[in-house]
Amino acid sequence: MAQGSKKAVLYAICVNAMITVLKGIAAMVTHSAAMMNEAVHSLMDTLNQIFLLIGLQRGAQPADRQYAFGHGQKKYLWNLWSAIGLFSIGCGLGLAHAWHAWHNLGHIERPEAVAILGFDVAPIWISGVVLLIAFVLEGYVLMVAGKEFLSRMRAEGKRNPFKYLVSADDPTLIAVLLEDSIAVTGVILAATGIGLTQSTGNPAWDIGFSVLIALMLGLTAIFLGMINMRYLTNIRDIKAEQIFQDILNNRREIERYHDLRSAIVDDTHTVVVAEIEVREEVLMRKMRERIATHELELLERVPEHRRTEAVVEYAETRATIQATLEATEQLIDSLEAELKQRCPRVFHLTIEVEGIAEPSQLDDPHAIETGNLPKDT
């Protein structure tokens, strides 16, 4: 899962770094406010994706003495800093530049032609070529991120991409997808503003569309900040809890359960905690054979002439305790194995056996023998 996100991030870093340079050069030679804001936009995208890459690398570190459940949440922290910091800065710089351009509207001299390799080229052609290159490259990166996003969505059985965008458990992929979508949209807005300015002769169009580009960065910061904040506040894994409830409800060994809770550490690690009451009738099945086996193993360690009444009594008591603990451990191990099979992101399950429920049908020996008893409701 993280591998697909890393691939999308690396593609985005390389492409946005190249586009930042192209847009910056085009903005300086054409004096276009929209192109300058697009250069700022691409620069923020590049820096943001570097932050995302750092978050992926830091978050992949295994558990150690200081981080008992691994470093997974560092990914959300780097994403949060990136979203709130860089995109807010990008939005602020974009609005500041648009404000400056508006107040100097009558004083900005726009070149009629730019000399390139001895040829005079109109600024509109420079802007057009740069925006076309940006559209193709950013469109390709968007396609890479979109394929990864859709494959995850289908793997989880979801069909609505907008709902999945809000509920998806990998904020890194969401960030890349949103950034690339907004990057393509920004290119279209910049091209529209520059085109309207060229056709009408009014530079206010260029400035107006540069404001829209800056506002998009601000809205992106807010949305990504909200997404990552969820995972830094120990959000519950509702799906994992529902799966575990279904497992417990279909186990005859469990009479009832309490205090079922979960916490998402990161997109591949969930912790589940629950208290259960075990059914005596089911737990006692084949218990006599278990006790006898353990008692025999214990007594075989003692020479026959030393098997006093106290030794035999000790062996019986220990065998009973050992058989009970063994049955309980087997039950917990089987619950954990089934939960991890049905929900692989659960990497830690804590079950507290609260007690043994009262026998429900002592008047039915066959039911007690088979453990096929109705649960209390």
Average pLDDT, the chain: 79
Task: Give the model's confidence band at 5: pLDDT under 50 very low, under 70 low, under 90 confident, else very high.
Answer: low
Q: Which of 211, 231, 251 is the last residue of a domain?
A: 231
Are 251 and 121 in the same domain?
no
Instruction: Find residue 262's DSSP bridge partners.
Output: 272
The answer to the question of residue 338 being in a domain is yes
- Concatenate the DSSP letters of all residues of 296-337 into one string: HHHHHTS-GGG--HHHHHHHHHHHHHHHHHHHHHHHHHHHHH
105 secondary structure, DSSP code = T
Same domain? 193 vs 341: no
User: Pick from 179, 214, 231: which residue ends a domain?
Assistant: 231
What is the full DSSP assignment across 145-179? Answer: HHHHHHHHHHHTT---HHHHHHH-S-HHHHHHHHH
pLDDT tens, residue by residue, 218-229: 888 888 787 777
Mean pLDDT, rounded, for 78-105: 77
Q: What is the CATH number of the domain that holds 307?
A: 3.30.70.1350
Question: Are 295 and 156 contained in the same domain?
Answer: no
Residues 71 and 131 in one domain: yes
pLDDT tens, position by position, 316-336: 888 888 888 888 888 889 999
Residue 371 has a pLDDT of: 46
Residues 143, 250 share a domain: no
Pairwise CA distance, residues 262 & 242, whole Å: 11
- pLDDT confidence of 241, banded at 50, 70, 90? very high
* Within-domain flag for 291: yes
Residue 134: CB atoms within 10 Å: 27
Do residues 219 and 321 both lie within one domain? Answer: no
- Clarify whether residues 213 and 312 are in a common domain: no
pLDDT, residue 278, reads 83
Q: What is the pLDDT of residue 243?
A: 93
Three-class secondary structure of residue 107 per DSSP: coil
* Domain assignment of residue 359, given as a range: 238-370
Predicted confidence band of residue 1 (pLDDT cuts 50, 70, 90): very low
CA distances from 32 to 72, 118, 183, 213 (A): 42, 23, 17, 13
pLDDT of 361 higher than 50? no
Q: How confident is the model at residue 366 (pLDDT cuts 50, 70, 90)?
A: very low
One domain, residues 153 and 113? yes
Task: Tell me, yes or no, whether 157 and 54 share the same domain.
Answer: yes
Which DSSP letter does residue 373 get?
A: -
Q: Residue 204 falls within a domain, yes or no?
A: yes
Residue 143 lies in a domain: yes
Q: Are residues 242 and 114 in the same domain?
A: no
CATH number of the domain at 176, please. Answer: 1.20.1510
Q: What's the total number of domains in the chain?
A: 2
The residue from 231, 248, 280 where one domain ends is 231
Which of 87-96, 285-294, 353-362 has the least mean pLDDT?
A: 353-362
Whole-number pLDDT of residue 367: 46
Predicted pLDDT of residue 340:
92
Domain-located, residue 286: yes
What's the pTM value of the predicted model, to 2 decimals?
Answer: 0.62
Query: 81 and 220, same structural domain?
Result: yes
Look at residue 376 and tell me if it is in a domain: no
Question: Is 75 inside a domain boundary?
Answer: yes
User: Mapped to the 3 state alphabet, what secondary structure does 221-247 carry?
Assistant: HHHHHHHHHHHCCCCCCHHHHHHHHHH
Strands in the chain per DSSP E: 114-116, 119-121, 254-266, 269-279, 346-357
Answer whether residue 377 is part of any domain.
no
- Regarding whether 131 and 30 lie in a shared domain, the answer is yes
